[in-house]
Every structure is written in structure tokens, then in C-alpha cells.
Amino acid sequence: MNPKCRTVVMIGGNGSNLQAIIDSSALSSLIDIVGVISHRPKAYGLIRAINAKIPTSVVDHTQYTEDAFNHALADVVQKYQPQLILLAGFMRILTPAFIDRFAGIILNIHPALLPKYKGLHTHQRVIEAGDSEHGATVHFVTSELDSGPIVAQIKIPVYPKETAEELAKRVLVVEHWLYPQVIQWFAQNRLKFEQKIVTLDGKRLTSQDYLLSLPATQGIVS
């Protein structure tokens, strides 16, 4: 049996994606969440981790300059000896030095259909643009914000007169299924990011491969 994939989750807030990852890992023989790190001392996600008996660390970004924060953060991450690092509501920009230190093992989930709507306030921006579709994207992290290679996406419709808050709730449902799915691929050694190329089962991923369908059992988004 393969050893479990040592996984660190980096958070900054409520931690709903963290909870989805915790719940999924409890059903998996491949994933071991060895640590949860927050850049905010009062992030509720830390309580979720403690309740799940997962070790936690805090690197308070308000106590550092940007470079010093990234250096301190990297040292804390390294202590957990991760094979996979997950960003789940982590709201600080990582420096190239941090990303290079953990090259090829950092994943992020973004509440939009990248490459559209990088950055913040994606739901409101989608509504203001009059888009008919929205969704979530999992991608590998590189030094350019929300621009790393895409692994998978799920689309959902945008309803007429829907508010940003209502849309955000439906996107979260998508995220809670999509992120654990991609994490499982990585833990199974099926998903790799090497020499700037992402492969799944040995095949290079293209834009035609990104789109997944939410299972019918999750059917509250369409």
C-alpha cells in the first residue's frame, strides 16, 4: 500500500473548503492532512482543524513585511514536510521564492472560470458583466496571480436576478466537490506538474480536458 500523501492546507477564514477536504480525506486511504496553517489567528478554519485533531499553526501576516511573512510561512510549511500544499481561502499573495521552494505541489481553488475573473469579488463581477455561466477552477500555483496551469473546472448557470450572495453559495457547493476530486488525483500520483506541463494519467491536459460534471447527487446547482 502506498503511504498517504502528506498534505498541508493553508487558510485565512471560515474554512468551508477545508472542511470539505477534511471530510473527503476521512474517506480516503491516500490523504493525510498533517497541518493547517492560517495567516489570521482568529480564522474559524483553525477550529475546524482542531475539532478534526489536525495540528495547526498561525503565521500572522500583520506582524511581518511581505517578504518576511513568506519566509516565515515557508519555514513553518517545511516543518510539516508536505507532499501537497492546498490553498483554501488563503488570502495572501505568495512570493516567487515561496512558490519556487515548493514548486509543483501547490494547488488553489478559485471561484471563477479562469482565465476570466482573476482576483477578488468574482461573483459580483460575473453578475455585473451579464454572464450566463460561472463556476470554479482548480489550478496549480505559479508566481502570477490566478494564472497557473488549470487542472479542472465546473460550470454552473447564472440565474436571472440572482444576487452575488446567492451565486456564491452555489459556487461553494461546486468547490466542495471539485477540490477533493483533484486532490485525490494528486494523491493517486495521477496528476503531475513537472517542467511547466500538467499531466493526468500521463496525458498532457488541454482546455478540452478541464471541464467536469458535478454528480447528480450534488444536484443543487443547475
Residues in the chain: 222
Largest CA distance in the chain: 51
Does residue 168 contact residue 221 with C-beta atoms inside 8 Å? Answer: no
Could you tell me the three cell numbers for 76?
A: 513553518
Does residue 33 contact residue 17 with C-beta atoms inside 8 Å? Answer: no
User: Residue 129 contacts by C-beta under 8 Å, 6 or more apart in sequence?
Assistant: none
Cα 202 from Cα 10, distance rounded (Å): 28
Cα 61 to Cα 13, 34, 212: the distances in Å are 13, 22, 35
Helical axes 164-187 vs 122-129, angle rounded to 10°: 120
Catalytic site residue 110? yes
Choose, from 39, 61, 110, 134, the residue flagged as catalytic.
110
29: three-class secondary structure by DSSP = coil
Does residue 25 contact residue 33 with C-beta atoms inside 8 Å? Answer: yes
Query: Residue 142: which of 208, 68, 195, 204 has the closest Cα?
Result: 195
- What is the Cβ-side half-sphere exposure of residue 94, based on CA atoms within 13 angstroms? 29
Return the active site residues.
110
